[in-house]
């Protein structure tokens, strides 16, 4: 029995040693793996830390943004997508002493979407009062105030209020700077697929047909890519005039709802885009991007001048649209369309052409 017990104890000791060796080896493997891979707790902590960093990244940018004192700041606002607002814009909205807004209701709506509290004094600053308001705002700048100027969408001064205060600030020697951001002009130009190395921005096309045609004719020899704004109510007429003046084959793009969910870019020739406007009328404000003239088109346009008959047609349109006497309309049109040598067409010849057209 004692020998049996000794043998059993020996086997138990061997088994215990083997078990310890296996456990130790496994422990070494697990320790190595643990050294290479974070624990669940560490992973959770890392993920949480990453989440906190991403959550505070914008806040850190906003807090670290310098808001210049005694300065006018022209700031761009989103043109459709609120997420395009910059950290600098948010900081300025929160910390500017005065916010001059084209539409105060839209300003507060934007601030609400951004989760921003506008702490400064808000004043209405629009096309009808910017000349009168500018000096008063600049008086505050002289005392050290930060005056932020924003429009409803995009950059102030680009078909929006702001030019008056910039000019007066320059005249008075006061600092004015810019917080850049979204731009419908640049977005449309980028997405059009047309040359971007040289372009000209022409704003909204004239409202009246005769003025619009006259204006477009001055651009027939323009070699740079041309950018226009246009509205829902005039796009059909404007496309008809573009087709008439530039011809059917010039390339262009019609861009609408830029940066929004239903953004749409129509690309093609003027004739194709004109037909698409008829078949599927676009909504909202649009940006039209038109290719510049080819060398042949530019040469042809430069050497051409309006005939007496063309001047007669424009005069009739002007008289009807502005409720003018035909002679007064002829005088205006002839003065606006000098001949190639700089002289003016004979008004009597234009008048006779008008009478011939009315017979």
Q: How far apart (Å, rounded) are the C-alpha atoms in residues 284 and 277?
A: 13
Q: pTM for the full model?
A: 0.70
pLDDT (0 to 100) of residue 211: 87
Question: Would you place residue 272 in the very low, low, confident or very high pLDDT band (cuts 50, 70, 90)?
Answer: very high
CA atoms within 13 A on the CB side of 236: 7
What separation in angstroms does the CA of 352 have from each of 9, 112, 311, 313, 359? 134, 63, 11, 12, 11
Q: How far apart (Å, rounded) are the C-alpha atoms in residues 58 and 83?
A: 12
Tell me the three-class secondary structure of 193-233, residue by residue: CCCCCCEEEEEECCCCHHHHHHHHHCCCCCCCEEEEEECCC
pLDDT (0 to 100) of residue 45: 46
The DSSP result for 287-355, as a single string, is EEEEPPPPHHHHHHHHH----HHHHHHHHHHHHHHHT--HHHHHHHHHHHS--TTS----HHHHHHHHH
Question: Would you place residue 137 in the very low, low, confident or very high pLDDT band (cuts 50, 70, 90)?
Answer: very high
Write out pLDDT tens, residues 237-264. 999 999 999 999 999 999 999 999 999 9
What separation in angstroms does the CA of 227 have from each of 199, 241, 245, 275, 289? 7, 15, 16, 20, 5
Tell me: pLDDT of 22 over 50.
no
Q: How far apart (Å, rounded) are the C-alpha atoms in residues 160 and 331?
A: 33
Q: What b/e sequence results for 92-116 when a residue is b if at least 16 CB atoms lie within 10 Å of its CB, and e otherwise?
A: bbbbbbbbbbbebeebeebbeebeb
Tell me: pLDDT of 198 over 60.
yes
Q: What b/e sequence results for 134-170 when a residue is b if at least 16 CB atoms lie within 10 Å of its CB, and e otherwise?
A: beebbebbeeebbbbbbbbbbbbbbebbbebbbebbe
Question: Would you place residue 302 in the very low, low, confident or very high pLDDT band (cuts 50, 70, 90)?
Answer: low
Q: How far apart (Å, rounded) are the C-alpha atoms in residues 56 and 215?
A: 51
Put residue 159 in one of left, alpha, beta given phi > 0 → left and psi -120 to 50 → alpha. left
Question: Would you place residue 231 in the very low, low, confident or very high pLDDT band (cuts 50, 70, 90)?
Answer: very high
Tell me: pLDDT of 4 over 90.
no
Strands 121-124 and 98-101: parallel
Question: Would you place residue 225 in the very low, low, confident or very high pLDDT band (cuts 50, 70, 90)?
Answer: very high
| Mean pLDDT of the residues in the chain | 85
Nearest-5° Cα angle at 302, 298 to 306:
125
Write out pLDDT tens, residues 165-194. 999 999 999 999 999 999 999 999 999 999
pLDDT (0 to 100) of residue 340: 59
Of 93-107, 204-218, 242-256, give the lowest mean pLDDT range.
204-218
pLDDT (0 to 100) of residue 28: 35
Q: Which secondary-structure segment (H or E) carries 252?
A: strand 251-256
pLDDT (0 to 100) of residue 50: 43
């Amino acid at each position: 029995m004692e020998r049996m017990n000794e043998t059993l104890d020996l086997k138990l000791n061997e088994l215990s040693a083997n078990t310890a060796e296996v456990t130790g080896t496994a422990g070494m493997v697990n320790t190595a793996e643990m050294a290479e891979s974070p624990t669940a707790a560490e992973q959770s902590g890392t993920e949480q830390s990453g989440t906190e960093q991403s959550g505070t990244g914008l806040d850190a940018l906003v807090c670290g943004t310098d808001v210049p004192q005694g300065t006018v700041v022209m700031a761009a606002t989103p043109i459709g997508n609120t997420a395009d607002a910059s950290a600098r814009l948010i900081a300025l909205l929160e910390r500017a002493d005065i916010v001059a807004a084209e539409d105060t209701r839209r300003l507060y709506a934007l601030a609400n979407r951004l989760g921003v509290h506008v702490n400064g004094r808000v004043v209405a600053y629009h096309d009808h009062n910017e000349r009168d308001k500018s000096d008063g705002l600049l008086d505050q700048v002289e005392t050290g105030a930060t005056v932020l100027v924003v429009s409803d969408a995009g950059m102030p001064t680009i078909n929006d209020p702001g030019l008056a205060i910039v000019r007066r600030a320059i005249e008075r020697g006061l600092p004015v700077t810019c917080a850049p951001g979204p731009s419908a002009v640049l977005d449309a130009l980028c997405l059009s697929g047309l040359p971007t190395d040289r372009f000209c921005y022409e704003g909204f096309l004239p409202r009246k047909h005769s003025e619009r045609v006259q204006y477009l004719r001055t651009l027939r020899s323009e070699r740079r890519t041309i950018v226009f704004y246009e509205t829902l109510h005039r796009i059909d007429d404007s496309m008809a005039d573009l087709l008439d003046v530039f011809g059917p084959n010039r390339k262009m793009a019609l861009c609408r709802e830029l940066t929004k969910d239903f953004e749409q870019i129509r690309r093609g020739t003027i004739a194709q885009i004109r037909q698409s406007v008829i078949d599927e009328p676009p909504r909202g404000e649009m940006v039209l991007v038109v290719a510049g003239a080819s060398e042949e088109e530019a040469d042809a346009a430069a050497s051409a001048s309006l005939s007496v008959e063309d001047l007669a047609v424009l005069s009739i349109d002007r008289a009807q649209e502005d409720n003018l006497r035909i002679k007064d309309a002829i005088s205006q049109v002839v003065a606006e369309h000098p001949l190639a040598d700089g002289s003016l067409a004979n008004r009597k010849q234009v008048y006779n052409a008008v009478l011939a057209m009315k017979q």
